Amino acid sequence: MKNYLAIAVLIVSAAMTSCSPGKGKQVAHAPLATTADGKEIGSAQFFLLDDGKIKMDLEINFPARADSTVAVHFHEHGDCGNMGENTHGHWNPTKEAHGKWGSAAYHSGDIGNITLDSKGHGTVSVTTDRWSITENEVNNIIGRGIIVHGGTDDYTTQPTGNSGPRVGCGVIVKD
């Protein structure tokens, strides 16, 4: 009987340590590539959490932009053609002012600035109830573009933050 109990404890322990607490179930992703030549520069993964919120983990590996800060935004359309211009403007389903995520005024596509290290690596994680993956909902992120800009977001210039050229792009797709 003791052996069965020990085995059960090991199985439960292994199951608990193999799960990522708070990570949720991956529901979407977006590979990111340069707009100039299509070279891979990172990805975003989206997770549905137990409380119904969506968590995005975005990672950039962009050596050409090492030791700099880049702005990242969700854009209206999931079409990276024409150097990212086919994504059109920022995704703003609630028609709010552009600003810094979490401030008094910002819209659902305002992700913000990401500082890249000496190798061009940087990450950001955002958890929110402002996004959905449910078809026909106004806040559905599936099919939206993610743009990596060549400059920083000043968080004040309307409607874009004066973030510079579109140097990277990806499309959010449902898993």
The answer to the question of residue 3 being in a domain is no
The answer to the question of residue 17 being in a domain is no
**What token pair was written down for 148?**
């990596």
What are the contacts of 48-52 at 24+ separation with CB within 8 A? 48/24, 48/133, 49/22, 49/24, 49/127, 50/24, 52/129
pLDDT at 170: 98
- What pTM does this model have? 0.87
- The answer to whether the CB of 137 falls within 8 A of the CB of 69 is no
pLDDT at 6 over 60: no
The answer to the question of residue 11 being in a domain is no
Q: Distance (Å, rounded) from C-alpha 59 to C-alpha 148?
A: 11
For the domain that residue 64 is a member of, what is the CATH number? 2.60.40.200
pLDDT at 2: 47
**What token pair was written down for 68?**
């700099």
Task: Please list the helix, strand and coil fractions of the chain in percent, rounded to the nearest 5, in that order.
Answer: 15, 35, 50
Average pLDDT over residues 19-35: 85
Residue type, 95: K
The answer to the question of residue 81 being in a domain is yes
More reliable by pLDDT, 82 or 7 = 82
Number of domains composing the chain: 1
Instruction: Provide the residue range defining the domain that includes 70.
Output: 22-174
